[in-house]
């Protein structure tokens, strides 16, 4: 049982009464799904043991992407797919952070702002690659919405191979060793294009922003062969905003959780009233239909043949043929409590 889901079940009525205006339809859908997750009100899976003829029923999980009780297998499957796409080149992680002053726009129009962030950052990276004559590049963008204190902090982590494919010469163009793009130049273009995109968007406006952001931050970090960065990102993709192990105390009035302070790199605690804590986590529920992860260019799903060509071009410096594994979907399994043999799922009941 998830601690957050348990708290939500206990306090959802008080939460609705206190924050009825702040709770969006997406938040309410997530709340309902999480509260119904693995309960008798959900559909049930039917199991049978061929060895001892034992039968059993298990409530199904809700499958919601923000539910901390679900998506355990999704992370490993995503990581396996991304690992199969890795090229034997140097990788960088570019992080575009939305300034504090513009986060009010995210609260009012989250779907529009998140889509804007994806489109603007992808155009920036493609243009910078074109200026350096790298050819066709590829990258994977992952949206994060929270800081370590779990405050609203929208930013994009983008994994980029250092190089590109020249379709005219059918060659791989290697980037400069230890260098991808200039961070300050990226930040300046990031600022200009965000304002330009907001100005053109029919749902967005900066007229109500009292102070215009002065500091725009873009970080460009070398992450070696890319796999450590993918493992880092995978831990935050398909799980709740706050793991249960980090909730160290809770009662009817307050919740205390721990986090690593970014300035001191030391573990510290934060205590909040229970309802405020629940809203702190629920504010990170993404709008329905918005993709948290997007692959572009050489790393997109439609570029599988092109990636194979590039891997063949880079074969002399790689042993990818020996290490690449096919990704398979994991089937649900259960052990019989009577004879300890594997049970088989025979069906799913309808909703009562």
Query: ∠330-336-340 over CA atoms, to 5°?
Result: 100
Q: What is the pLDDT of residue 352?
A: 55
The DSSP H or E segment spanning 223 is none
How far apart (Å, rounded) are the C-alpha atoms in residues 352 and 221? Answer: 52
Q: How many CA atoms lie within 13 A of 303 on its CB side?
A: 20
Whole-prediction pTM value? 0.87
Calpha distance 350→327 (Å, rounded): 31
Q: Name residues whose C-beta falls within 8 Å of residue 122's C-beta, 6 or more positions apart in sequence.
A: 139, 141, 294, 296
Sign for the CA dihedral angle at 278, 281, 284, 285 comes to negative
State pLDDT tens for residues 128-179. 999 999 999 999 999 999 999 999 999 999 999 999 999 999 899 999 999 9
Q: What is the mean pLDDT of the chain?
A: 88
Residue 26 pLDDT greater than 80, yes or no? yes
Q: Which two tokens stand for residue 138?
A: 């590829």
Over 50: is that where the pLDDT of 327 sits? no
Buried b (16+ CB within 10 A) or exposed e, 184-200: eebbebbbebbeebbee
> Is 282 in a helix, a strand, or coil?
helix
- Tell me the DSSP string of 109-177: SHHHHHHHHHHHHHHHHHHHHHHTT--B-EEEEEEEEE-TT--EEEEEEEEEESEEEETTTTEEEEPPT
Choose among 89, 86, 159: nearest CA to 324: 86
**CA-CA distance, 285 to 307, in Å (whole number)?**
34
pLDDT in tens, 173-226: 999 999 999 999 999 999 999 999 999 999 999 988 888 888 899 999 999 988
Is a pLDDT exceeding 70 seen at residue 318?
A: no
Do residues 39 and 279 make contact, with C-beta atoms less than 8 angstroms apart? no
pLDDT of 72 reads 65
């Amino acid at each position: 049982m998830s601690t957050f889901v348990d708290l939500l079940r206990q306090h959802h009525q008080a939460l609705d009464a206190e924050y009825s205006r702040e709770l969006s339809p997406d938040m309410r859908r997530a709340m309902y799904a999480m509260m119904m997750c693995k309960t008798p009100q959900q559909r049930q899976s039917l199991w049978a043991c061929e060895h001892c003829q034992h039968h059993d029923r298990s409530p199904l999980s809700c499958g919601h992407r923000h539910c901390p009780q679900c998506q355990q297998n999704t992370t490993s499957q995503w990581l396996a797919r991304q690992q199969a796409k890795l090229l034997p080149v140097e990788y960088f992680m570019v992080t575009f952070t939305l300034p504090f002053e513009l986060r009010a726009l995210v609260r009012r129009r989250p779907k529009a702002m998140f889509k804007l962030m994806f489109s603007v950052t992808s155009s920036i990276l493609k243009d910078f690659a074109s200026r350096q004559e790298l050819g066709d590049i590829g990258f994977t963008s992952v949206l994060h919405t929270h800081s370590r204190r779990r405050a609203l902090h929208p930013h994009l982590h983008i994994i980029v191979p250092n190089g590109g494919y020249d379709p005219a010469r059918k060659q791989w163009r290697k980037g400069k060793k230890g260098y991808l793009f200039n961070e300050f130049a990226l930040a300046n273009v990031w600022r200009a294009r965000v304002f330009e995109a907001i100005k053109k968007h029919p749902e967005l406006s900066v007229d109500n922003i009292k102070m215009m952001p002065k500091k725009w931050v873009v970080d460009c970090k070398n992450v070696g062969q890319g796999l450590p960065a993918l493992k880092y990102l995978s831990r935050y993709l398909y799980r709740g905003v706050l793991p249960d192990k980090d909730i160290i105390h809770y009662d009817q009035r307050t919740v205390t959780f721990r986090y690593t302070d970014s300035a001191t790199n030391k573990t510290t605690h934060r205590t909040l009233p229970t309802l405020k804590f629940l809203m702190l986590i629920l504010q990170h529920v993404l709008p329905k239909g918005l993709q948290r992860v997007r692959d572009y260019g050489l790393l997109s799903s439609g570029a599988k043949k092109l990636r194979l060509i590039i891997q063949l071009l880079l074969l002399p410096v790689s042993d990818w043929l020996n290490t690449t594994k096919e990704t398979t979907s994991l089937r649900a399994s259960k052990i019989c409590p009577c004879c300890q043999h594997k049970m088989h799922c025979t069906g799913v009941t309808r909703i009562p």
